[in-house]
Amino acid sequence: MTVVLKSPVYASKVVAPTSKSVAHRALIAAAFADRKTVIPMRVSCEDIDATARCLMALGVGITKTDSGLAVTPIARDSIKRDAVLDCGESGSTLRFLLPVCAALGANVTFIRRGRLPQRPLSPLDEELRRHGLTLLEQDEKLMIRGKISAGDYSIAANISSQYITGLLFALSLLDAPSTLTLTGKVESAPYIDMTTDMLSRFDASPTVCGDYTAFSVAGYQAKPLCSPQELIPEGDFSGAAFPLALGAIGTHAVTVTGLTLPSLQGDSAILELLARFGAKIKSERDTVTISPAPLFGIDIDATQIPDLVPILAVVATAASGTTRITGAKRLRLKESDRLAAITAFLRTLGGDITENDDGLTIVGGKPLGGGTVDVCGDHRIAMSAAAAALLTKEAITIPYAECVQKSYPTFFDEVVLPTHKE
């Protein structure tokens, strides 16, 4: 799908999409709980569908309802072994379910599509091997054999919080107690908080030891997963960041409903950051309204909020002065090299942006032109490019805009309305 945007119409009121971070975690916990769990969701997306599809391949019952999904759990010793799990392009699905399947002794084959085979699994794969797992890679296939045992686990905390989430779920499914020690500086800590919170909702919370440097996990015999029967995921701040940013850089206010305030989601920091840029913010219960105001460049440490960087770069382009974004090196390992992709598309439009190893420097407040943007098949780059169309007088063309299906399928129907779509 190619969309063309020229002075696009954008929504004044938006309902936030379902948090895929919460939905992933809810589906996995519900899959191995003691009874059925209903998970209401406003809308799914390709990543959430990937996790559901893989769990169903293991034998978990997941059915669509009028309001969302119903999950009928499966006993740990009844899972389908030698199953094929198609992760699509979802890094969360692979990194969460790889340790889980290792704990279950499932001997499955993961299918990885798009850029996923190139995205790293180290040091997670080494730690799983150390505890008894065999991994075999063949192009897009990743085959695992064996079963990990309970014990003492350790992993670097500054590479991917998804590794930590996967291990916490896996250790919760083992019969005996285990420990998980985090080494180095913890990055994306809010995502770890979301995992421990989800396990606590299923009465299986790990014990945090020390200064967030280790976890003690009791295991399934001591703390079996007990379903709350209904679990309503929050609205997604990662997705809501795009319409909220439109309220800051556009010509009229944007109200987003369906959010949870306060939230464990790290990307709820979008509110503080837009306020620092100068936007006007009003929040009440589950609703946030962002109104335009003069914007000025700021310094941003993206260590805990890497997914916000693409849209923050667009806001920075609209802001007078210089914005410096640091702590974003991990963006090179996403669906695209996001630092390079952001730099390329903003330069295509005439933006003043400099890429460095760890982040971006943007001199904003300058007029932008139009052009055809290469979004590198990355959903967050596509939505950021669409937001940038509010800053240009000429048309922006976005080929392969269907990549937004990965996280926000209704974006071009509910948030930014294309001038032309084909």
**Cis, bond preceding 418 (omega within 30 deg of 0):** no
Which DSSP symbol is given to 406? G
Identify the bridge partners of residue 291 per DSSP, sorted by sequence position. 280
The answer to whether 319 and 365 are in contact (CB under 8 A) is yes
Partners of 324 in the β-ladder? 299, 361
| 262 CB-contact burial (10 Å; exposed 0-12 / middle 13-18 / buried 19+) | exposed
User: Can you read off the two tokens belonging to residue 166?
Assistant: 């996967």
DSSP string, 239-278: HHHHHHHHHHHSSS-EEEES--SS-S-GGGGHHHHHHHHT
Catalytic residues: 307
Contacts of 77 (CB under 8 A, 6+ apart): none
Angstrom distances, CA of residue 274 to CA of 161, 293, 299, 315 = 25, 10, 12, 8
